[in-house]
Amino acid sequence: MKLKTILSALVIAGCGVSAVVAADDPVKVRESLMKQIGGSMGALAGIAKGEKPYDAEVVKTALTTIGTSIKAFPDQFPAGSEAGSEASPKIWENMDDFKAKAAKLGTDADMLLAQLPADQAAVGEAAGVLGKNCGGCHQLYRVKK
């Protein structure tokens, strides 16, 4: 388990580095942030389903990554940057709502971090709370390329 924790920390660190390298391309940055969020949700889902043993450090890292990434996410949408991405033009028409949806996921992640889910069942509930945010925003603001 220790090794797994170290490996996932390295993966997260690696993503951080590529985000910095691609800092001038907002599409790459925001997709990389979403990938980190997706990977963190995958880690939580693995525990929730019993595929991975409960590990408080993994849960903490996943929630921290989701919270940090979603807070940086809405800043990566300069006007005209929808080309070649899955970002819907509706984002720019409803920027306040889009930002509010991002902020909601950030608040949920912070709330769960403050009361860290303590076992498999609690991780399942946490994943359910977080997961509502994903679909809620994707349906409105993410289009398939």
Pseudo-torsion of CA 124, 125, 128, 133, nearest 10°? Answer: -130
User: Residues interacting with ligand HEC, by CB under 6 A?
Assistant: 27, 30-31, 34-35, 37-38, 41, 66, 85-87, 98, 101-102, 105, 130, 133-134, 137-138, 141-142
Residue 24 CB, shortest distance to ligand HEC, in Å, is 15
In the complex with ligand HEC, the residue whose CB is nearer, 34 or 112, is: 34
Cα(118)–Cα(80) distance, integer angstroms:
44
Cα(11)–Cα(30) distance, integer angstroms:
17
Residue 125 near residue 117 (C-beta atoms within 8 A): yes
Residue 94, token pair as written in the block? 């409803």
Residue 73 CB, shortest distance to ligand HEC, in Å, is 7
**Cβ neighbours of 122 (radius 10 Å):** 17
Residue 60 CB, shortest distance to ligand HEC, in Å, is 16
In the complex with ligand HEC, the residue whose CB is nearer, 8 or 133, is: 133
In the complex with ligand HEC, the residue whose CB is nearer, 6 or 20, is: 20
Residue 50 CB, shortest distance to ligand HEC, in Å, is 20
